[in-house]
Amino acid sequence: MAKQAKKRTTRKTATRRPRQAPKMLSDLFLETLKDIYYAENKIIKTLPKMAKAAHSKDLAAAFNKHLRETQGQVKRLEQIFKMLGKPARGKPCEAINGITDEGAEIMKDFKNAPALDAGLLAAAQAVEHYEISRYGTLRTWAEELGMPDAARLLQATLDEEEATDHTLSELATSVINLEAEEEYRAAA
């Protein structure tokens, strides 16, 4: 009899616990917005280091140009947080931490090496591809959530990220990779 009473108490306790509201697309949108806000602020700290490490003036200039764009992108994100009535606050993004750690490792391991700029460029493109993925997703969700102003801001940033990726690809194939190969051959 004591066992039955205990079971009933357990069941009653379990049913009295407040249920957590199901997570909605708007919740996912906000969490992803926090993720990319953190990422962009991390990138702002990383780009000057990459520009300084680059041997190519063209690559350093591309990094500095994207730094200015990234600062504007952070302002757009802050506008979206304001639209949502939420504080502009990031949450740690392990993906961008990993990508930037790889870039730091390249700067260390290839310092003064012929392939340094090619490695920096590849690391920068990894960042761009991550950002393109995030901004494309956020833009689509903003549209689906009926937030056309946020979607417009996110599309503006997505356009910049895609243009930067294109610039980096052009720089890689027309200059950086060729210079790395020439420097290697000259040293051999």
Arithmetic mean of pLDDT, 49-62 = 94
* Alpha helices (H) in 54-147, listed in sequence order: 57-84, 94-109, 116-144
Q: Is the pTM of this model over 0.75?
A: yes
Predicted confidence at residue 184, as pLDDT, reads: 63
Whose CA is closest to 62, among 147, 155, 132, 127?
127
Tokens of 56: 């190519």
Whose CA is closest to 127, among 97, 157, 147, 88?
97
Whose CA is closest to 117, among 75, 44, 174, 185?
174
Tens-place pLDDT, residues 80-120: 999 999 999 999 999 999 999 999 999 999 998 889 999 99
